[in-house]
Structure formats: C-alpha cells, structure tokens
Chains A and B, each alone.
Chain A
Amino acid sequence: MTLPPRRRLIAAAKAAFPPTIPILAGFIFLGITCGIYAGSLGLPWWVPPLMSICIFAGSAEFVVASMLVAPFNPIQTFITVFVINARHLFYGISMLDRFRGLGRKRAYLIFGMCDETFSINYAAKVPEGIDRGWFMFFVSLFNQLYWICGCTLGAVCGTLLAVHIEGVSFAMTALFVVIFLDQWLKDGVHAGAWTGILASLGTLIVFGPDGFIIPAMVLILIVLTLTRTPVERALTAHDERGGDDA
C-alpha cells in the first residue's frame, strides 16, 4: 500500500473530527468512570489504560475489571466477553462491503469497531474529495484515543478528579437516536428498524436489562429471516423506483 500524500491524510483527519465530537465528551467521562471503578477495586493503575488499548469495548472492560479481582478463570472470561460483545457480529455483517479494498487499514477498522465507531462510520456522509478509508480510519482512531485518555485519567488521578457530572453519557443515547432516525429517513423499507425496536423492547421486558441483548439478536435474526421474501420484494421495488438506500 502506498501512503497517500500527507495533505490527503490531513484532510481526512479534519473531516473525521467533527462527527466524533459527541464521542469525545462521552468517552472521556465514561473512561474516567471506568478508570476510577478499576481503582476502587484495588487494581493497579495500568489496568484501565491497557484494557482501553487492547480490548476497546466499554461495557466489557467494566466486567473484565471485576473479573481481575476474582479467581483466574480464562474460559469464563472468554465466554462472558464474547457474549457481551456478540452484537458486534451484526456490525461486521453490515460492513462487509464497505471495508472492501481498504488495504492494511481494514485490520484496524475491524479491531476498533465499537458501537459508536461503527455507527458513525456506517452513517456518515464522507465529504466530497475525502478518502473514505482514511476517513473511517481517523474516526476509529480518534474515538479510541478519547477512550484511552479517559481511562488513563480515571486510573491515574482516580478519585482526586471526582468529576461526576450527571447525565453526560446521554450524548451516546442521543447519538444513537439521531443515527437511527437518519437511517430511517434513508431506508425506503423500514422492516429492519421496526424489527430492531420491537424485538429489543420485547426481550428487554421479558429478560431484563442484563440479559436481553442475545435474545434480542436471536429474535431479530428469526424475524428478518422469516420475512425475507416480502422484505426483499419491497427492497427490490424500492430500488427500482430509484430509491437512495445507504
């Protein structure tokens, strides 16, 4: 892979920064919380930064921190983390085509695909003249840097910092709401969106907040598989009308 001229890189980095601003706020605060939490468990200061660099998955890192003060159990760690992060499987399926032909950047894009990075990279309109691969690369990199900074700050300064500002993390909820709406407006066929909302709400009521993700994923797959024939017919009809589907 030949490195593009520096100017193209800088342009891609500049274009990638604005969409990550909500994540900057959210990840710094959430990262500090994660760092402080690990410290409160009595873990050494280097644990949160190391996790933010090599795991980079918010909710899983909280759980791993609690596992580090329990007896060593590698199999349980693997299964628990895989289940917590199983939703990423759906992100990969959605990104199969978009990560094509991106050379070595692809490996980092796949590694860094947390909820927020996936959402921005899936939804963002890459500005005219900006390299799409480098744009997505910088979105991933910036988001991870925010997370590393937050976790490190929380771990090193710990309770000294004591920045508990209630409600900053609502930025994440708002981000997903806006992206959901944006996707809704782009999609001519809303079968996926309805399935996602209703299956998640239904399984949340039945299984509760700690155990609904996997049942929701299974239900989404079942519903979208059973309705494939009519949904595909609707998608084809939408395409033939010249629908602008992302």
Chain B
Amino acid sequence: MTTAQMLATIAIAAAATILTRALPFIAFPAGKQTPPYIQYLGRVLPGAVFGLLVVYCLREVDVFTGMHGLPEALGVLVAGSTYLWKRNMLLSIAISTVLYMLIVNVA
C-alpha cells in the first residue's frame, strides 16, 4: 500500500467509526420529537449494553481448557461483591484487577 492509500484507509475507518457514533443523533435531531419507540429503547438499552460489554470482555475465556476461566470468574466475583459492599468503583476495579494479575502471573 502506498502512503496515500494508507491515509485513505485510515480516513475511511475514521468515517465508518464516526458514523456508528453519530447516526442516532443524525436520525433523531434535537429539535424534533424522538419517536416513543426510540425513547423506550434509550431507556432499556443501557442495561442490555452493559451486559453485552461484560460478555464481550470475557468472550475469549475458555472454560474447557487451561484455568477454565477461574481467574476471570474470581475477578468478576470480587469486583461485584466489593462494589455491593463499599459502592466504590475505583476500589473494586483496583482490587479485582490486582487479584487477577496475581493469579495469572503466579499460577
């Protein structure tokens, strides 16, 4: 690929990314009433999206070989339980990440 073709490829990738982020705002501009169906989706989608993102992060975990996903399971449990206990996002993320790193590096 020439440098010009590289720049064009990066520009196209940038445009495609921006489109996925901006399309809802273009389709439902601020001045106009958003259809009730879209308002409904705007209310129920976030819960679904965070569920999707959790599964997305863990998609490569293989429960059949290696450590059988135990480090991930433990990390998720610790993150969740400490959050329920202290309601402190940073603390939960730090503790579970350090624990996870210890397990995968030492084990």
Contact = CB atoms under 8 A, between A and B. Distances in A.
A145 interface: no
A166 B72 CA distance: 13
B93 A174 contact: yes
Given A68-B9, A193-B51, A200-B55, A167 B97 contact: yes
B89 A178 contact: yes
Contact of A91 (B37, B47, B49, B79): B49
Interface string A83-112: 001111111111111011100001000110
Size bracket, chain B contacts: 35 or more
Contact of B10 (A19, A54, A88): A54
Interface in A157-207: 165-168, 170-184, 187, 189-197, 199-201, 204
B51 A195 contact: yes
Given A94-B45, A178-B92, A72 B5 contact: yes
A41 B106 CA distance: 31
Size bracket, chain A contacts: 35 or more
B18 A111 contact: yes
Nearest to A111: B18
A209 B58 CA distance: 9
Given A92-B24, A173-B58, A178-B80, A81 B53 contact: no
Contact of B79 (A50, A61, A177): A177
A127 interface: no
A197 B51 contact: yes
Contacts of A51: 10, 13
Interface in A110-136: 110-111, 113, 115, 119, 122
A119 B25 contact: no
Interface of B: 1-3, 5-6, 8-25, 28, 30, 34, 37-38, 40-60, 71-72, 75-76, 79-80, 83-84, 89-90, 92-94, 96-97, 100-101, 103-105
